[in-house]
Structure 1
């Protein structure tokens, strides 16, 4: 089925993440018809996804149905479907369940995991981008502790309680710090045979320091805090092999049954269908107003867009995607009035990352701080940007409970959630 325009211009938005959703909402009063397509039915607050993976929060705490978010916006139709191909000449997108035409197209399909040409590593080192990923990682982590409890062989038990996180960016740091807290504070009184306090958490980074996008002094404070938590930090250690038995970094070998990938991303493959040469990560170079140079009716935002500003790339973070989405909405409004679109300008509000209980780092350019004050700032900022009053209240209650008790209420292993977890149970 092909949908064609009739009265108002049709804006087709692919992706219900930060870029796509912010564009949709910014067009609420515009004289356009909007179709928002996403292969899931929800908007996901990705900055807290690692807390679902480590059993601190449940999936609904950081996600909300797109239809519910947009229930009061009359000019939008939400369609749960998957975009497969884009025909620029025909102004048409092929979906898994039909075809759909557009007058304006916004591609905001984000990014996936990148294994630097070693895609076979994905089986042994899952990444963290979706709720399915988070639930699979949770099952893998918790199943490793369960298997260690019933394991008699000391070497096998040690491998089961070795956790390796590859990638020293914010996601890797947050995962490693939280895993260490689980082993040291959450689980010790609940296991009888395995001393889970002996669990070792390794954070592996190929570069010279963790949180490389932050100033060196904050990177060093992060490393020191991770060491205090019991995380073993390996920098300047590119991974050369990952298999079912562990990780190799040159001649160094870590035996582990639980390896998590937080080292790299690649843009959505839809970018390669837009008729331009993408960069090495698959990102699409765009005009100053975020449109395609040869197709001004097509826009690309978020992790899929390659945008340069002041000689530096705009980072692939949630605030940038939100700003891009809102900017494209403004350009479309201008076009409808016969005005040229303004160039995009990214406003950097700083970087922040949490390292563990009562510890975080914040970089606001000239203003940089860490420790408990940064942790409180991180907490308030994430609560503020969560979508929905219910989500904010539930997350606040769960965080308060975890803070006072060290407990994580979402420690449920969903059978079938992760093949590695299933094989561990069967071993």
Structure 2
């Protein structure tokens, strides 16, 4: 394949990646009412998707010589690892993210500035760079930096990266239990684990003495498979990763024997029993609470319980439980709040039985059309106004 055709492939790939990123950014901005954590993890998965689509889309190994590989390979890790660090930092220390934390992305921007001329040079210059890289590899590119010498660049590439990895490992280890992390972070780390495992496989195969050509083919097959998994994961994030609908449709439990089946025609009696049980024991404050639990304690078919709730509240069982949690927050937690600054919403979300603060925000917005923080601020403002009258 001529260098001209390779450059055309490079140009098309770069354009598609750029346009996809812009489209995705517009979609996320107007459609995702999720938390900052949700958006950050979405961005990370998109980086992984772009990186491996770029690397493994073609069997021609000259893909490694494309100058834009500097962007999708090295910059993905340079921006991705600090984002993961900030996510873990936020969820383990419970501290708020402030403007000073944006300094963590400085190495990322320094790397871009150092190779700005290469990334946006003419087609002829890029083809000359590709020819030189075939002989000298990346050692040639490291000499073309506008700001740093090769040794300084090596420090910029290595020290921040491994420092962040070590810090992330330390914070996760310090929690004492991986399951103490929010479910969305657990899901993200599981994806990263399989992602790394899949991409170490070609190295392992090569070390076993297989022919290099065959190993390269395997690398591309594994890379394409990994890209497919990441793509599916990315586009199904709301249900797959964040567990927003992590409980099955409980309205249709089959083959449940009960001595109260005659209550099917007396939903008023049934709903009274449900409400009395909820008021007295407040089982909805446990994240483990389910229709199965209620069914067992009331000795009433879950199908009939769901039907009664649906008829009175126009909510399915899952939404009914979330509604009870929101109402409990309004009646019990809200009156105790005196300052918005001192409120730890993640702790409150856990105490209310939500699996994560993301779920708390989403359910709160669903029922009250606002966020918990905005609702608290409005409550405190109204309370202060009443007290001054």
Fold match by TM threshold 0.5: no
* Higher strand proportion: 1
* TM-score where L is the length of structure 2: 0.26
Larger proportion of helix: 2
TM-score scaled by length of structure 1: 0.24
Larger relative CO (CA 8 A, sep 6+): 1 or 2? 1
Looking at CA atoms only, which structure, 1 or 2, has the larger radius of gyration? Answer: 2
